[in-house]
Structure 1
Amino acid sequence: MSRGQRNSRGFSPASPLFIAVNVAMFWVSTGIAATALWPIYRSTAIVILVGSALGFGTIIAVIGAYFRWPSPVVMVATVAAFLLVGVPLAVPAKTQYGVLPTAGGLVDLVTGVALGWKQLLTITLPVADYQALLVPALVLILTTTVVGLSVALRSTRGEIAAAFPVLVFLVATAFGPKFPDRPLVTPIALLVAVLLWLVWLRWYRRRTAVNSLLAQSTDAASLDRSPDAGVAGLRTAVSAAVILAVASTAAIGAVALVPPAADRTVLRTAIVQPFDPRDYVSPLSAFRSYWQPATIDSTLFQVRGLPEGGRIRLATLDTYNGVVYSVGSSRVTSQSGSFTRVPSTFDQSAVDGTAQELEVTIRGYSGVWLPTTGLFEAVDFTSADAATLRDGFYYNNVSGTAAVVGGLVSGDSYTLSAITPRQPTESELATLDPGSASVPIPQDVPDQLTATLEGYTSGVSGAGNRLVAALAGLKADGYISHGIGVDEPASRSGHAADRISQLFTDSRMIGDAEQYAVSAALMAKDLGFPSRVVMGFLAKGEAVTGADVSAWIEINTAQFGWVTIDPNPLVRDIPEEIPEETSQIARPQTIVPPPVLEPDRFDRQLTPDTEQQRTPDVNLALQAVLAVLRVLGWVAIAAAVVLAPFLVIVAAKFRRRKLRRNASTPIQRISGGWQEFENAVVDHGLSPEVASTRTEFAMAAGGVQSAVLAAIADRAIFAPDAPSGTDADNVWRAVDELQASLDDGLTRWQRIKARISLRSLGGYSFKNFFSR
């Protein structure tokens, strides 16, 4: 009876019942596992993609199993299906009429196979159908469906197919968010589906084996199955379901009573983000540069849609180390220091505020920090280099700060949609309570600032009232001077600890927004309010100039979240400095001889250049070699991706052969040698009858040496005396010769197909691949 025929009392592994049940169980298991992809995309596009990929993968696997396609043909069919439906499913933005792929879409589809995985880890979730980020999901579902169902329908150990839905769940979890969306429901449901599938496969295989024995029995006609044989599998499945239901209910109840206390660790929590704000100089350090004659009246950028006096955020800084206020910190965890790529939109529906839409055109401004307002919802770059700007766009939703890797230049333009959160009135400031946001603790706070704060808040109770008193004291005592005009009093730039100390120790408190914003933020932090400094501009019209630069603070409150506060004093006349009183004492006149003049001594030795000042020599030959190596590296990576499945097959067969040849006893080595010969025959395209004896198998394979090997193996296994090690070595030498003879007369491609054939990979190899 051939493999495709029906037994008299059962079904063959290729029967419609076997195919239908395996396909149904694989679909259920993969569908449950694919729900772990939802937190990554949160779009109907992922639902359509999973269903379509399951459908196309099932068609390829079933047809391949029915016609017994070799693995290269299955692989070619899978790649063809991927290229045919990949663009409308995974890159829908680059299709014609919604279904026809474009050249650009095909390029994104192919490059997304290698690059999409990393892009998923460096972008804020969810991503919906942004760019080509659906490509990894398509590759995952389509590949696991084709391979998993092929194993289920064609391998003698179909249980291995149950590992592929589990693989889908693990990969989706690894690339998902750090917070579990459904921490227990999905894995338990997947466990139940997989175990029920395995129970059914075990029952079906046992039933088929029993029916096969009954059909081969001489008195099969007189035998009959026991009355309850037909419901044995049902009883097993029901029992397993009851046990799993009890265990699942207990596990879900335990998680409900004691939920996870921390986020999980996934790939995105460990990967180094491409944009690190600590690699750039703090924008607040360049505050005074905007007041220089070259930029004070120059148009930095034009903004349409912002009301007069509206605030434009350049960057939010929350880390003070006594020298500079910076974006994030390398020493402590700072949420404002973590920037990620974001999809085309960002959900701000939970924010209570006013929607705004700005049109910004860059003129004299340059830098990585993108001028924004409020909390980002969407950005659309409209200049010629829009694609480059979009790919380099990074955002931090905690601080509302955006950046573009590579920087902005004159002519860049974009449209920004944002939400400005509702703010408390001035009368409500006194009622505010500190919030729970986490910011780094300031370092090296000057004692003079603490002493001044105590003077401002002496006798005042309540956190909100003390904050209002501190701000009122700064505005009452402070004067504004940028120290650039000849008529302006001296005002040193910077906001290090010594400059802040000077602000509070001079006879007149003179500074500008750089010093007052830092001082107010440190005071608010001392009063218990999480605080940070915002560097930006106060627009007086559509054209924003250097004179519009400003800095203010944001404090976190329990009532309103982050609240914007301007701590800067009003511009007013600065009083003359009161000279210190000195007592003049009359002293007798003395004749002082003129000093002896000595010739000036000049050290004419030039200071050698430092290593940082020297311009490194450009080695053109080395650059060319590196470029070639870079290209070769990408080619090697692509080749490794393509060849990886075949290398795994070759490695599995090599491992199987090694285990057989190095078995512990001679009889096991002889039996393994015969099995190695059988596998080689099957891999070369021959199909002996199922359950044939060694002699029958040798006759089907042909050749006198095959028959001799079968006789030796039978004698060694069934003889009363144990064979010797020499007998085992002779068998393996014969096996090597027979395997070599199978390649005689074959082309190189036919020999390669035999090496990578999956026909013999099942049962023994997978069961013993990782054990001796």
Structure 2
Amino acid sequence: MSEAVTVKQRTTRPSLGFMLVSTVMLAISTGVASIALWPSYGTASLIVLVAVTIVAGSAIGLLSAWFRWPSPVVLAVTLVVYLALGVPLAVPSLAISGVLPSLTGLRELVVATATSWKQLLTISLPVGDYQALLVPAFILILVTVVVSLTVALRSRVAEVAVLGPVVVFIVANLFGPDSAQWPFAVTMGLIVSLLLWLLWLRWYRRRESIRLLSGVSSTEDGSPVARVADGGFVGFRSLVSAGLVLAIAGTAAYGAISFVPPTADRVVLRTAMAQPFDPRDYPSPLSGFRKYLQPTTAGRTMLTVSGLPAGSRIRIATLDSYDGVVYSVGRGSVSSISGSFTRVPLMVDQSAVAGTTATVEVTIGNYTGVWLPTVGRLERVTFGGSDAPDLLGSFYFNQNSDTGAVVTGLESGDSYTLTAVIPTQPEADQLSSLEPGPATLPPVSVVPDELAAALDAYVSGLTDPGDKLVAMLDGLRRDGYVSHGVGATEPESRSGHAADRITELLTAQRMIGDQEQYAVTAALMARQLGFPARVVFGFAPTDIVPDGLTTVTGSDVSAWIEVDTTRYGWVAIDPTPPLRDIPEEQPEEPTQVARPQAPVQPQLPETDDRDTRLPPSSSQDETPLDNPVLTILVRILFGLGWATLVMAVLLSPFLTIAAAKWRRRRLRRLAPTPLERMSGGWEEFEDAVLDHGFTPGPAPTRIEVAQTVGGTQPFVLAAVADRAVFAPGEPDADQAEQLWRSVDELRYSLDLGLTRWQRIKAVISLRSLGGYSVTSLFKREG
């Protein structure tokens, strides 16, 4: 042909086959990519949303391609579908009969279009179909399907359409949790589906080009055009080749991840997102311990609780960070997981906690603040009253410390219902068997020296952690007395729990304090014993009515500790001494005051009027200059050190071979009996023969090995070795030592006449190690 045949670009609607296959390929790829959304939602509503949205988006793309809709029409139809399906799919709780959008739902859908993205980053996962948090997934799937299918069916470069599922996968991971779920399987599945799509597009385009060429009967000069084969197996060959490459790459990647797992934490948007609630913005609730015990507040009703199990305590906040001044709730999300609070969508999974489930109704009285009183391990909270939506929207929770907070604050009349698991706790006589758990807490920066001294006195002579913990608690309860220092009849007891107050508690003549000081002291001591320990501030009602209403007053305020254990998890312990009479303080012994004698004026020393000051030009105060010779020497040594390290890494395989041979030779020469040493000496010579390139043949005798080497001395050595092995009697040690001297001489003679490189090759040769396990040569001698 004198001129190339030009293939015309498609200016009409695509074929039905092309549209069908492209739609199926897009649906499969998007479905696989949508699996990455599951860790964020974890609900069957997501499956329905993805399936219906793919069908709806595909319908829009197919109609737009068939009828050649312009872009504004495609956008308008997409918006109509978004409003029609958005409420039943993304806000199902506000849909009429589950299928029709309501006005409230439409309003929530429009607002969530802009706000739900940020809300998804500030809530604990999975969120289920909570409120309107499915809206981001709905928008992501609908937009990518419409755009990708439109590109695939109407663009000249249909391959660009594969970017749609990739966008779904990337966005799903960015908005997902900080720990990936099925990362390898989902990634490989997406790559395979996209690869199949790309291969099919390539095969389809090639087939269409061949058909167009085949349809041309002749060129412009009238010469016929040869018919070109369809080449249907080209796609299959490409598929097989790509599959092999993908299998090799996937296997290598999986092996690399398995043997060298990544050490850095997974970075997603929520890890870099500033949390709306930061506990460091609020004072520690333990600092206000004494305000509940004042005469004006001690008798006031703080809470009214129904369904409270007998013996339960009400948690206000869990404190795990101590800086020597105050015990606080975490140190922020960076240094303490107890400082990271998120919204709770539906419920907290407490299935791993052993205990009994309880439903508790709480009504706020005179209690105020942002900290939400809870019981046990919280599973679900439901707010009541007219302001329930506002309270739920501002509720944040930390699952690690079981601490809840309402950012807008609680007021009198607020009510809510808790569903919680009351964890199983050990009995008092089981505390000695406790072992420290694996929990990680922020380090304590300040520990009074007096605390360590008192702890040593309590646990002296004990070794088990549980026994030490019990001895510490018994010591505090034995030596301590309780006084809040708020009444005229109570002994003075200073509030606070800073390091100086703890020192005062432990060094005073009478150990006087209340739950605030004893809880902090016990927590610090438990941490010194190796137990992860934290302080819990809350209420400990004395008159609980399990089947009725329990009134919690200010006098019920309390503080206790929780220690993490291997068997029970976090165990609550009250270290406060029992209430008892406080003895009178013993008067201190009078101090003898010595009257000073009349002062005697000392003799004035002789003065030296000489000016010993250095002249202004003195260089005494100047910083001495670095020694240039020493600096150059340090740099040279630094460079040599790095060079040595690199060379050691590069030569490590060869050094290992040489070390293995040296180890083998040492084991043979130091064998327990002379016969074994002589047999080992011959084996050492035979291995040296192999390493120097000689090939005696399969299973050669000693004489055959000597013949291969040549010379008189190898024959003598072979005869001596045969006589030692086969002759009656046991050879003596001198004969074994003489044989080894001959072996050393023969090994040296094998190197004669060889170049340096040939000698090095013999040292690192693997021929003589073929029948040995190198690792066994490095085992310890018995």
Give me the whole-angstrom Cα distance separating, in 1, the residues matched to 2:586 and 2:429: 36
Q: 2:555 aligned with 1:547, yes or no?
A: yes
Partner of 2:737: none
Q: Secondary structure at the match of 1:341?
A: coil
Q: Counterpart of 1:618? A: none
Check whether the contact 2:332–2:340 (CA below 8 A) recurs between aligned residues: no
Q: Is 1:279 the equivalent of 2:287?
A: no
Instruction: Name the CA shift for 1:351/1:585 in 2 (closer, same or farther; >3 Å).
Output: closer
Deviation at 1:356, TM superposition (A): 1.1
- Give 3-state SS (helix, strand or coil) of 2:374's partner: coil
> How big is the shift at 1:58?
0.3
CA–CA distance in structure 2, aligned partners of residues 425 and 416 of structure 1: 26
Q: 1:585 to 1:45 in 2, by over 3 A?
A: closer
Offset from partner CA, 1:369-417 (integer Å, 9 cap, x none): 0000111110110121000000000000000000001100001000000
What is the aligned partner in structure 1 of residue 314 from structure 2?
312
- Match of residue 52 from structure 1: 52
1:301 counterpart SS class: strand
1:575 has 2:583 as partner: yes
Distance 1:302 1:383 in 2: 15
Deviations 1:547-602 (A, max 9, x none): 00000001111222111111010011111111112268999xxxxxxxxxxxxxxx
Deviation at 1:442, TM superposition (A): 1.3
CA distance in 1, matches of 2:126, 2:195: 31
Q: 1:337 aligns with which of 339, 346, 349?
A: 339
Deviation at 1:467, TM superposition (A): 0.8
What pairs with 1:594-673 in structure 2 (closer than 5 Å)? none
Change (3 A) 1:13 1:261: farther
Letter aligned with residue 164 of structure 2: F
1:170 maps to what in 2?
A: 170
Q: Aligned match of 2:368 in 356, 366, 369? A: 366
Name the SS for the 2:563 alignment partner. Answer: strand
SS of 2:299's equivalent in the other structure is coil
Partner of 1:212: 212
Q: What is the identity, as a one-letter code, of the residue corresponding to 1:231?
A: F
Relative to structure 1, the CA distance from residue 183 to residue 136 in structure 2 (aligned partners, 3 Å threshold; closer, same or farther) is: same
CA contact (8 A) 1:22 1:149 kept: yes
Question: Which residue in the other structure is 2:290 paired with?
Answer: 288
Shift of 1:437: 0.8
2:42 alignment partner in structure 1 = 42
SS of 1:229's equivalent in the other structure is: coil
TM-score, normalised to structure 2, is: 0.72
Q: Cα offset for 1:227?
A: 5.2
String of CA shifts for 1:253-301, please: whole Å, max 9, x gaps: 4434444444311000010100000000000000000001121000001
* Matched residue SS, 2:215: helix
Q: CA separation in 2, counterparts of 1:346 and 1:484?
A: 40
3-state SS of 2:446 partner: coil
Q: Distance in 2 between matches of 1:586 and 1:29?
A: 95
Q: Is there any run of 5+ residues in structure 1 with no aligned partner, and where?
A: 1-6, 588-772
Q: What SS does the corresponding residue of 1:507 show, helix, strand or coil?
A: coil
| Counterpart mapping for 1:297-696 below 5 A | 297-330=299-332, 333-539=335-541, 540-541=543-544, 542-582=550-590
Amino acid aligned to 2:24: A
Range 80-89 or range 441-450, more displaced? 441-450
Q: CA RMSD in A?
A: 2.2
The separation in 1 between residues aligned to 2:366 and 2:415, in whole angstroms, is 13
Structure 2 letter corresponding to 1:306: L
Q: In the aligned structure 2, how far is the partner of 1:225 from the partner of 1:35?
A: 47
Task: Output the CA distance in 2 between the equivalents of 1:418 and 1:59.
Answer: 47
- For residues 689-714 of structure 1, the C-alpha deviation after alignment (integer angstroms, 9 at most, x for no partner) is xxxxxxxxxxxxxxxxxxxxxxxxxx
Deviation string 1:25-47 (CA, Å, 9 cap, x unpaired) is 11111111000000000110000
Contact 2:214 2:227 in 1 (8 A): no
Identity of aligned residues (%): 56
Q: Give the whole-Å Cα distance in 1 for the aligned partners of 2:299 and 2:51.
A: 59
* Aligned mates of 1:240, 1:564 — CA distance in 2: 59
Superposed displacement of residue 330, structure 1: 4.9
Whole-Å Cα distance in 2 between the matches of residues 352 and 560 of structure 1?
Answer: 8
CA contact (8 A) 2:333 2:340 kept: no
Residue 209 of structure 1 deviates from its aligned partner by: 2.1
The CA deviation string for residues 339-388 of structure 1, in whole angstroms up to 9 with x for no partner, is 00111211111111111110000011110000001111101101210000
Tell me the residue number matched to 2:65: 65
Q: Deviations over 1:117-156 (max 9, x none)?
A: 1001000000000000000000000000001100000000
- AA of the residue aligned to 2:353: V
Question: Distance between the aligned counterparts of 2:223 and 2:58, measured in 1?
Answer: 39
Which amino acid counterpart does residue 157 of structure 1 have in structure 2? V
Distance 1:32 1:224, change over 3 A: farther
> Residues 353 and 162 (structure 1 numbering): CA distance in 2 closer, same or farther, change over 3 Å?
same
For structure 2, which runs of at least 5 residues remain unmatched after alignment? 1-6, 545-549, 596-782
Partner SS state of residue 183, structure 2: coil
Counterpart contact for 1:341–1:393, Cα < 8 Å: yes
**Larger deviation, residues 231-240 vs 469-478:** 231-240
Structure-2 separation of matches of 1:101 and 1:138: 15
Q: 1:11, CA displacement in angstroms?
A: 12
> Is the 8 Å Cα contact of residues 29 and 190 (structure 2) preserved in structure 1?
yes
- CA deviations on 1:68-92 (whole Å, 9 max, x unpaired) are 1111110010010010011010001
Helix, strand or coil: the match of 1:354?
strand
Q: For 1:151-190, what aligned pairs fall within 5 Å after superposition? A: 151-190=151-190
TM-score by length of 1: 0.73
* Alignment CA distance shift 1:22-1:578 (3 Å): same
SS at match of 2:232: helix
Cα distance, 1:183–1:263 mapped onto 2, change above 3 Å: farther
The answer as to whether partners of 1:332 and 1:440 remain within 8 angstroms in 2 is no
Cα distance between partner residues in 1 of 2:66 and 2:503: 83
Deviation at 1:241, TM superposition (A): 2.4
**Alpha-carbon distance between aligned partners in 2 of 1:456 and 1:350, rounded to the nearest angstrom:** 35
Whole-angstrom distance in 2 between the partners of 1:208 and 1:575:
103
Provide closer, same or farther for how the CA distance between residues 252 and 191 of structure 1 changes in structure 2, counting only shifts above 3 A. same
Name the amino acid aligned to 2:112: G
In the alignment, residue 492 of structure 2 is paired with which amino acid?
A: A
Distance 1:331 1:418 in 2: 25
Find the residue that maps to 1:340 and give its secondary structure.
coil
Contact preservation (8 Å) 1:430, 1:465: yes
Contact 2:309 2:358 in 1 (8 A): no
**Partner Cα separation in structure 2 for residue 447 and residue 34 of structure 1:** 57
Looking at structure 2, the residues matched to 416 and 200 of structure 1 have their Cα atoms a distance apart, in angstroms, of 56
**In the alignment, is the contact (CA less than 8 A) between 1:483 and 1:492 conserved in 2?**
yes
* Distance across 1 between alignment mates of 2:426 and 2:398: 24
- The aligned counterpart of 2:131 is 131
Which residue is equivalent to 1:238?
A: 240
Answer yes or no: is the 8 Å Cα contact 2:278–2:332 preserved in 1. Answer: no
Distance 1:506 1:568 in 2: 17
CA deviation profile, 1:83-120 (whole Å, cap 9, x unmatched): 00110100011112111211111111111111111001
User: Relative contact order (C-alpha < 8 Å, sep 6+): which is higher?
Assistant: 1
